[in-house]
Structure 1
Amino acid sequence: MRRYGKNTDEDDIRSRPNRKGNRPRTHIRPKHEDAAEGMVLTVDRGRLTCLVDGTPVLAMKARELGRKAAVVGDRVALVGDLSGRKDTLARIVRIGERTSVLRRTADDDDPYERVVVANADQLAIVTALADPEPRPRLIDRCLVAAFDGGLTPLLVLTKADLASAEELLDLYGALDVPHIVTSRDQLAKGEAAAMVREHLAGKATAFVGHSGVGKTTLVNALVPEERRRITGHVNAVTGRGRHTTTSALALPLEGADGWVIDTPGVRSFGLAHVDPSRVIHAFPDLEPGTEGCPRACSHDEPECALDAWVAEGHADPARLYSLRRLLATRERTEGD
């Protein structure tokens, strides 16, 4: 081994050539100005199926995006092989700005929020009137998530042949939430899908509901098998014979310019991420009354200015009750 002393000249030391693996890193990122625009249809184990000019393309997130994740509904920019052929893989290099986000946490003690769907216009909350019994607290939580994320809620009540919808609708009357009531007979005849479709045209609608309420059956009626072929890549990605709602999936709406986004069935809907100050935006008749509230007001405390606002006749007391019920659901479980 050659040794170098203190009198060694610089020229006596060999310099190692800059090989491929030793190139200096740069913070300059390519602009990808020629990237194609697409929409994320589904995500499975790090692989994303995107729709690019009518072709489903399998892609992965580029390293330069870091921790930023793309979700169903995201508008993205892609480069690479966009042919959609088997065994090809494109790269997502940009994620567009989101107009809305549907978030949830695993439970109310979990600080880690998960974005379920991006850029949806509506949240269709599917609930059975019987078998299984409706869970108003879960509906409340979904409403809070919709208001917080910038989505318009839509109540879809199923199995009206087993129980009346009147009592449940009375609970949400003050919120002015649009609703649809269907029976199992209407669903079998295709009438339920037609009723729901009127509210979906031209919009991206995310469907949420717990097991047994008929959500997936309704989605299947809205999006027949021939329209599902556009997401044929999903089968290859997941390895399953058909989609079983274990991850969100965007499907083109039959007979209208819109999207149906089927989400996994939920057992709970955590709201640890929700800031009460954002929920009030869904109550434009009450929001001006919060100007006199103390800082960080929960809108359900003795100093809350909303009581005086309602007492002066600026808003319906039922609206304030509904707001406080929704905000209180963050402190309760769905079964309370």
Structure 2
Amino acid sequence: MSSRRSPSSYDESDVRVRPGRGSRPRSKIRPAHRNALSGMVIAVDRGRYTCVTDGDAHIVVAMSARELGRGAVVVGDRVSLVGDVSGQEGSLARIVRVHPRASVLRRTADDDDPVERVVVANADRMVIVTAVTDPEPRPRLIDRCLVAAYDAEMTPLLCITKADLGDPAPLIDAYEPLNTPMIVTELGNVGAANPGLPDPLRRLRETLHGQSSVLVGHSGVGKSTLVNALVPGSDRATGTVNLVTGRGRHTSTSAVALRLPEGGWVIDTPGIRSFGLAHVDPDTLIHAFGDLASETDECPRGCTHGYGAPECALDVAVAAGRLVPERVESFRRLLASRERQAGD
């Protein structure tokens, strides 16, 4: 006799349903990764993160854990690594944790752009690089970088390059009242061989010693050339200035951190054409213009210091010759762009 059952004898209890992948409860407990290796991200390239480990300082290439999200890891981040952390060719580790950041340098594409872009993390100092000429200096961009540095609680340093091609005095005079440290270099000196660095470059290296410093500026001002002089063997690509537009060509395509010979890190960044400050509170802008802030004590209560502000002490200081009109104009243009964004 056959042991097979007739189809009519089956009921619901005989049906076995395989649970779907999404039906299984997921644990909220994540691995602690207590044995994870600590390191610092020194380069980012298409979803791969080059890290230098603490202690023996070997190089590890890693990917980011999915739970961290896209764009969560940037150059300068302190991270925890698991997986294959041998650093051997073809190995791939995984970043499972980003440590709390001491500082974050942000920028937006424009002042009305709500999307923030983190440039670097954990930098102590911002080196604002500008050329005397070829390309021409852009004081408004310098002012924006200063605002971003103060907002990120980073110490600014103005590095003026190509002083052998023009007179740096106007730039020095414009920013000396802010008490911002300045170093002036010449194109010929920057190309000098190490370790016999010229005095300005030696002073720059001494200033950056033991710190993490990020170099910012528009293309063609000499950031990569400075890095090559400060870090022997770095071989950062350098470019020239377009003779038609007067603008530099992008040679660095992504940020990269390089170790200084005497200790510390210098981070080279791609050239920028704009530095949006949508993330900065308009009420704090005046603090980045130290020479202007000192004149506002005589302003009436509630003075905005902007265009058309009645009895603003900035206008009095300009009329008396204590302030350069271009500095006040730069501040007010920046303030106006931020106030428009705040009112939208």
* TM-score normalised by L of structure 2: 0.76
Specify the alignment match of 2:264 in structure 1. 258
Q: Is the 8 A contact 2:282 2:335 kept in 1?
A: no
Counterpart-to-counterpart distance in 1, 2:53 and 2:183: 33
Specify the alignment match of 1:239 in structure 2. none
1:208 aligned to which of 186, 206, 216: 216
Residues 266-313 of structure 1 show CA distances to partners (whole Å, capped at 9, x for unaligned) of 1221222222244456579959979x965xx855378899959x99xx
Specify the alignment match of 1:274 in structure 2. 280
| TM alignment of 1:218-257, pairs within 5 A | 218-225=226-233, 244-254=251-261, 256-257=262-263
Q: Relative to 1, partners in 2 of residues 1:302 and 1:51: Cα closer, same or farther, differing over 3 Å?
A: same
* Mean CA deviation greater in 106-115 or 181-190: 181-190
Percent identity between the two aligned chains: 54
Counterpart-to-counterpart distance in 1, 2:331 and 2:95: 38
Shift of 1:260: 0.5
Shift of 1:22: 6.0
Residues 184-219 of structure 1 show CA distances to partners (whole Å, capped at 9, x for unaligned) of 232233314323112101111100121221111111
Q: Is the 8 A contact 2:286 2:331 kept in 1?
A: no
Aligned: 1:33 with 2:18:
no
| TM alignment of 1:1-336, pairs within 5 A | 12-16=13-17, 23-53=24-54, 54-67=57-70, 69-189=72-192, 190-191=197-198, 192-225=200-233, 244-254=251-261, 256-279=262-285, 298-300=304-306, 325-326=330-331, 328-329=333-334, 331=336
Shift of 1:101: 1.2
Q: Relative to 1, partners in 2 of residues 1:182 and 1:21: Cα closer, same or farther, differing over 3 Å?
A: same
Secondary structure (helix, strand or coil) at the match of 1:154 reads: strand
Secondary structure (helix, strand or coil) at the match of 1:198 reads: helix
Counterpart-to-counterpart distance in 2, 1:278 and 1:108: 15
Counterpart-to-counterpart distance in 2, 1:94 and 1:305: 53
Q: Is the 8 A contact 1:32 1:79 kept in 2?
A: yes
Residues 219-252 of structure 1 show CA distances to partners (whole Å, capped at 9, x for unaligned) of 1111111x68xxxxxxxxxxxxxx9521100000
Q: Is the 8 A contact 1:77 1:95 kept in 2?
A: yes
Counterpart-to-counterpart distance in 1, 2:9 and 2:27: 33
Q: Is the 8 A contact 1:29 1:64 kept in 2?
A: no
Counterpart-to-counterpart distance in 2, 1:293 and 1:48: 51
Residues 50-93 of structure 1 show CA distances to partners (whole Å, capped at 9, x for unaligned) of 11130111111111223561100000111111101111111111
- How many residue pairs get aligned? The number is 304
Secondary structure (helix, strand or coil) at the match of 1:210 reads: coil
Q: Relative to 1, partners in 2 of residues 1:266 and 1:156: Cα closer, same or farther, differing over 3 Å?
A: same
Larger Rg: 2
Amino acid at match of 1:147: Y
Q: Which has the higher contact order (CA 8 A, sep 6+)?
A: 1
Q: Is the 8 A contact 2:158 2:182 kept in 1?
A: yes
Secondary structure (helix, strand or coil) at the match of 1:71 reads: coil
* TM-score normalised by L of structure 1: 0.78
Amino acid at match of 2:278: A
Shift of 1:113: 1.0
Q: Is the 8 A contact 1:73 1:117 kept in 2?
A: yes
Q: Relative to 1, partners in 2 of residues 1:257 and 1:15: Cα closer, same or farther, differing over 3 Å?
A: same
Q: Relative to 1, partners in 2 of residues 1:37 and 1:158: Cα closer, same or farther, differing over 3 Å?
A: same
Segments of structure 2 that go 5 or more residues without pairing to the other structure are: 1-5, 236-249, 339-344
Amino acid at match of 2:152: G
RMSD: 3.7
Secondary structure (helix, strand or coil) at the match of 2:75 reads: coil
Q: Is the 8 A contact 1:37 1:76 kept in 2?
A: yes
Counterpart-to-counterpart distance in 2, 1:322 and 1:267: 20
Q: Is the 8 A contact 1:126 1:158 kept in 2?
A: yes
Segments of structure 1 that go 5 or more residues without pairing to the other structure are: 229-242, 312-316
Counterpart-to-counterpart distance in 1, 2:8 and 2:215: 72
Q: Is the 8 A contact 2:307 2:332 kept in 1?
A: no
Specify the alignment match of 1:314 in structure 2. none
Shift of 1:329: 2.4
